[in-house]
Structure 1
Amino acid sequence: MRKFQDGNTPVQAGLICALGAFLLWGFLPLYFKILENLPALHVLAERIVWSLPAGIALVWFGHRSSEFRAVFRAPKQLAWLCLSAGLMGLNWLIFIWAAQNGHVLEASLGAFITPLFSFSLAAVFFKERFSFLQFIAIFFTTLGVLNQAIFVGKLPWIALSLCLLFGSYGAIRKKLVVDGRVGFLLEVLVLFPFAMAFLIYSWIHGAPLIADTVRDSALISLSGVVTAGPLILFTMAATRLRLSSLAVMQYIAPSIQFLVGLLLGEHFSISYAATFIFIWIGVALYAGAALRQNRQVKKNPH
């Protein structure tokens, strides 16, 4: 079977990985909605614990054991991975809580904003240039957030938190030259002791170690696979694509999440719709600018 890392197909491999990741993330709220009878912190802890065997399997069967050991000889990379682990854990917790408590639409709003935030980070840390259209796109996105705060009467803290956390996470992983499977396992290892401590403490005080029912236990035991799949695909894509190109494809996940939120019957007022309209205008402008920039790069590769 042809490997993703073949020298002549890195971009194609990155596109495939990114598409798979964002499709899976798009439907992820439905999984956590099914587990809404369990506390978000408990679901998070279980997700971390069950992600450990998934991460070990990915590194072992992917023949990345030597790369895994090599990271421990690079203190700076290890420190950055500890930071990215913290960002990942907080992102997971907020997203789980949002899915369980009827805030899928706001979570999708955060995912719509994230690509623009990611490009802002790319401009600062990776020296990617802003175009005029991209400045206008960020302006419309800002209008959307202000509309949500002023006319809807609620600062979209879920959206802004997810945007900040995931955008920063993506920038750190772009900075690191670490295989996606290796990085994921290391991040889970950082979080694992905290997750186990929480579960044991909860169990001592009467909570179930996994879940109360067979159905919930079976579902939550799949959280490692549900988590590892899209995250590994994303980190593999992040090392093969420009951050701006990856940001364009991120619109797949929030589009699906937006539809999921509507199907779940979440409140969607006219003022709320205006927020999304501003964001969508920004998204369209930004995507158009990024695609035009990519075409120019292809025409003038040097």
Structure 2
Amino acid sequence: MSTTTDTSRGLAAATAAFLIWGLLPLYMRALDAVPPAEIMVHRLLWCCALTLVILLLKGQLGRIGAILRQPGPAALLLLSALLISINWLVYVWAVSARHVVEASLGYFINPLVSVLLGVVVLRERLNRPQWVAVTIATLGVVWLTLQVGRLPWIAMVLAISFAFYGLVRKHVVVDAITGLSVETLLLAPLALGYLLWLGEAGAFGAHGAAIDGLLVASGLFTAVPLMLFAFGVRRVPLATIGLIQYLGPSLQLGIGVWLFGEPFTYVQGIGFGLIWGALAIYALDGLWRRRRPLAVAAPEAEGI
């Protein structure tokens, strides 16, 4: 597979992941009757079950043991599992507490953290239009943060935990399904212990059959975007991943304001407008750079 094709597939996978995450508040709102911590452990356990079934059907269950026998990768996957669990719990709580707009702010900040990690840790380089885009987006996020009038802890926790999750997963040489299976398997004993501690309150039937069905399906809505993200993050520069992530919070913002009726003032509109302007600059620069090689290659082809 060519590098261009591999990058294109990674870009498509990452985009699909952020689309699913952008629509996730609708799913979480349907689970309003369930405490956030209980939703989180159900997501983890059913995600674990789904990935184990997939590996079983593919005859690849042995990969889990191979990873667990390597202290380095196993430790990194435990770290990434803890990071994504924190992210899940805070996000579910934010939706249930009617803070979808602030949660979306977290995912607007998150790409900036990813870009910073890409430049500082991975030595990725940005061209001038990309730096302009990042600068404008930073101004937008700073403006939004200042208007909150307090430390936006929901946004900060979501941003930092997911950015570092992406960084850690980029350094683990493991396929998406196996990595996710190991992550959830490592935390499954804690999740099962929590449900046992809840007793009848955490048992199936406590919230009705419809809710039980949604809890089971949460494994699918958890596993699929994470597998897509893990597939994409290893094939696309982290700086690019960081900026693509604005798709998810844009959808979350729209859902929070237009469907859930959360407040959105003109002051917030200024900040979000700066961020969307930065995205436009980045997208146009990417389009120009993709078309330029074609324009150069065309005269050469004519001379053959």
Give distance in 2, aligned partners of 1:24 and 1:146. Answer: 27
Which of the numbers 214, 229, 232 marks the counterpart of 1:237? 232
* 8 Å Cα contact 1:51-1:228 kept in structure 2: yes
Matches within 5 A, 1:164-179: 164-179=160-175
Residues 50, 224 of structure 1: 8 Å contact kept: yes
Say if 2:34 and 2:207, in contact at 8 Å, map to a contact too: no
Map 1:1-302 → 2, pairs under 5 A: 6=1, 9-203=5-199, 207-210=201-204, 211-262=206-257, 263-289=259-285
Specify every segment of 5 or more residues in structure 1 that has no aligned partner in the other structure, as ranges. 1-5
Pairwise CA distance, 1:36 = 1.3
The RMSD of aligned alpha carbons is 2.4
Larger radius of gyration: 2
Residue identity in the other structure for 1:278:
L
**Residue type matched to 1:217 in 2?**
D
Q: Verify the 8 A CA contact 1:111 1:162 in the aligned structure 2.
A: yes
Structure 1's 125 and 242: CA in aligned 2 closer, same or farther, altered over 3 A? same
Q: Following the alignment from structure 1 to structure 2, what is the Cα–Cα distance between the partners of residues 20 and 220?
A: 22
Q: Distance between the aligned counterparts of 1:159 and 1:298, measured in 2? A: 41
Distance 2:190 2:157 in 1: 22
Q: Which segment is superposed worse, 186-195 or 209-218?
A: 209-218
Q: Is the 8 A contact 1:102 1:266 kept in 2?
A: yes
Q: 1:29 to 1:77 in 2, by over 3 A?
A: same
2:242 and 2:294 map into 1 onto residues whose CA distance is 18
Structure 2 match to 1:3: none
Question: Alpha carbons of 1:80 and 1:148: their partners in 2 closer, same or farther (altered >3 Å)?
Answer: same
Distance 2:236 2:131 in 1: 22
Residue by residue, what CA displacement relative to the aligned partner does 1:184-229 show, whole Å, maximum 9, x if unpaired? 00110121111111111111xx523234211111111111111111
- SS of 2:201's equivalent? coil
Moved more, 285-294 or 15-24: 285-294
CA distance in 2, matches of 1:282, 1:290: 12
Q: Tell me the amino acid that sits aligned with residue 72 of structure 1.
A: L
Change (3 A) 1:162 1:189: same
For residues 19 and 138 of structure 1, the distance between their equivalents in structure 2, rounded to whole angstroms, comes to 19
Paired AA for residue 275 in structure 1: G
What is the deviation of 1:242? 2.2
Give TM-score scaled by structure 1 length.
0.87
> Matches of 2:129 and 2:260 in 1, distance apart?
35
C-alpha distance in structure 2 between counterparts of 1:230 and 1:147, whole Å: 30
Task: Return the letter of the residue paired with 1:270.
Answer: Y
TM-score by length of 2: 0.86
Residue 61 of structure 1: how far off its partner (Å): 2.7
Q: Which moved more, 1:102-111 or 1:224-233?
A: 102-111
Cα distance in 1, alignment partners of residues 57 and 215 from structure 2: 24
Contact 1:248 1:287 in 2 (8 A): no
- For structure 1, which segment, 224-233 or 97-106, has the greater mean C-alpha deviation from structure 2 after superposition? 97-106
Contact 1:108/1:258 (8 A) holds in 2:
yes
Gaps of 5+ in 2: 297-304
Cα distance in 2, alignment partners of residues 299 and 87 from structure 1: 44
CA distance, structure 1, for counterparts of residue 112 and residue 47 of structure 2: 29
Partner Cα distance (1:142, 1:109) in 2: 12
| Alpha-carbon separation, structure 2, partners of 1:76 and 1:142 | 35
Question: What one-letter code is carried by the residue in structure 2 that aligns with 1:209?
Answer: A
**1:95-140 Cα shifts (integer Å, max 9, x gaps):** 1111222122222222222222212111122210133444444443
